[in-house]
């Protein structure tokens, strides 16, 4: 189905359209002089505000096609397909001048409510970052972000049109909610892609991780004390005051210890190292290697809060399951890793 409103969405807008359909020709030559037809065969210049609005919506529909072709999430693909159908109808409405019956129905309160319900559903999954995102976490999310900005532009064009001509109520509200929905869909798609990457890497390296990790079922307070005390002993041995962190398998902080004269910045960084190691189930130094340009995790740190690529975080694994993780910060990368390794080794003894 074409998204071009002067072809399939609003047939027979021009004398040549029907002939082109019968003959199989895509070109009609009737627009060669810079004009096109709205519904009702009303001729206007191609840069007319109404043409500009539905042309921008057409751009957004095409960008959504790229997202639909690249996402690996069935629900996102299904929602995009439904949105594209609504946008095709919307373009037909926008291609209809005042006083002419539109060939489709404009978005109503029910359509807006459907978008809000999908936003709420995806928001339950989205991890809020509380900062501006950098698009590109996945192919589909990049296309969704592109579509989002195009829809925002269509909304601005619509506002300009509304000052000159009457528009159907509900269109502006629909476009506003749609851009919000595309934003959360983009974030969810990139989160799911990151999860898939992490699971694949963890599956391929779980045996190596298990061989050096402790065999302990839980991380209780006593276990955390053992970890932290082992880390402090190693830090004193190398002559570097450090901050040591222990988190559970979900990345929730269990214990944080700052040695005398340890750097203040290490308080936050040690916790982030442990949280990252628990989140991706691999050492942060390994994650940093996989996040270099051209590697499979490149850009993973762009939109995930508290994720760090600084060495010094180690996961604690048991039979492929995550027990928790440790983080050490205060010295060089090599020193931080040695202290973190001493913490992890303490549970095995």
Q: Is the pLDDT confidence value at 4 over 70? A: no
> What are the pLDDT digits (tens) for 302-328?
777 788 999 999 999 877 778 999 999
Average pLDDT of the residues in 212-234: 79
80/285 Cα distance (integer angstroms) = 38
Question: Beta strands of the chain (E only): which ranges?
Answer: 35-38, 42-45, 243-248, 253-258, 313-318, 321-329
Question: For position 166, what pLDDT does the model report?
Answer: 86
String of DSSP letters for 223-246: HHHHHHHHHHHHHHHHT---EEEE
Q: How many CB atoms are located within 10 Å of the residue 160 CB?
A: 11
| Parallel/antiparallel/unpaired status of strands 35-38 and 42-45 | antiparallel
Question: Cα(296)–Cα(267) distance, rounded to whole angstroms?
Answer: 30
**Is the CB of residue 100 less than 8 Å from the CB of residue 40?**
yes
Q: Distance between CA atoms of 88 and 61, rounded to whole angstroms?
A: 8
| pLDDT over 50 (residue 22) | no
Please report the pLDDT score of residue 322 as a whole number.
Answer: 85
Nearest to 273 by CA among 308, 315, 235, 240: 308
pLDDT confidence of 11, banded at 50, 70, 90? very low
Task: Name the least confident of 22-31, 125-134, 218-227, 249-258.
Answer: 22-31
Number of H helices, E strands in the chain: 10, 6
Report which secondary-structure segment, H or E, holds 247: strand 243-248
Nearest Cα neighbor of 311 from 294, 326, 296, 295 is 326
pLDDT tens string 329-346? 999 999 999 999 999 998
Q: What's the pLDDT score for residue 19? A: 42
**Domains observed in the chain:** 5-198 (1.20.1200.10), 221-348 (3.30.450.150)
């Amino acid at each position: 189905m074409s998204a071009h409103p002067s072809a399939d969405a609003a047939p027979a807008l021009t004398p040549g359209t029907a002939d082109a359909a019968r003959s199989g020709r895509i070109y009609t030559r009737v627009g060669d002089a810079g004009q096109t037809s709205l519904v009702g065969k009303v001729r206007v210049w191609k840069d007319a505000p109404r043409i500009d609005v539905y042309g921008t919506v057409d751009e957004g529909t095409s960008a959504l096609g790229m997202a639909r072709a690249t996402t690996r999430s069935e629900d996102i693909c299904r929602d995009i397909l439904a949105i594209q159908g609504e946008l095709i109808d919307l373009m037909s409405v926008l291609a209809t001048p005042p006083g002419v019956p539109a060939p489709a129905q404009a978005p109503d309160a029910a359509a807006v409510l459907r978008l809000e319900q999908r936003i709420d559903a995806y928001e339950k999954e989205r991890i809020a970052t509380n900062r501006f995102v950098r698009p590109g976490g996945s192919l589909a999310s990049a296309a969704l972000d592109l579509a989002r900005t195009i829809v925002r532009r269509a909304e601005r064009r619509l506002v300009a049109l509304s000052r000159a001509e009457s528009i159907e109520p509900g269109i502006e509200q629909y476009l506003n909610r749609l851009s919000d929905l595309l934003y959360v869909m983009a974030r969810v798609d990139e989160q799911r892609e990151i999860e898939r990457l992490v699971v694949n890497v963890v599956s391929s390296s779980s045996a190596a991780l298990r061989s050096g990790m402790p065999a302990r079922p839980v991380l209780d307070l006593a276990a955390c004390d053992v970890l932290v005390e082992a880390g402090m002993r190693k830090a004193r041995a190398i002559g570097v005051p450090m901050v040591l962190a222990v988190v559970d398998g979900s990345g929730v902080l269990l214990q944080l210890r700052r040695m005398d004269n340890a750097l203040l910045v290490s308080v936050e960084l040690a916790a982030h190292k442990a949280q990252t190691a628990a989140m991706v189930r691999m050492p942060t130094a390994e994650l940093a290697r996989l996040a270099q340009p051209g590697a499979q995790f490149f850009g993973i740190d762009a939109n995930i809060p508290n994720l760090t690529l600084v060495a010094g975080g180690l996961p604690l694994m048991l039979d492929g399951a995550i027990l928790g993780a440790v983080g050490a910060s205060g010295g060089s990368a090599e020193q931080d890793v040695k202290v973190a390794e001493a913490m992890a080794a303490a549970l095995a003894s």
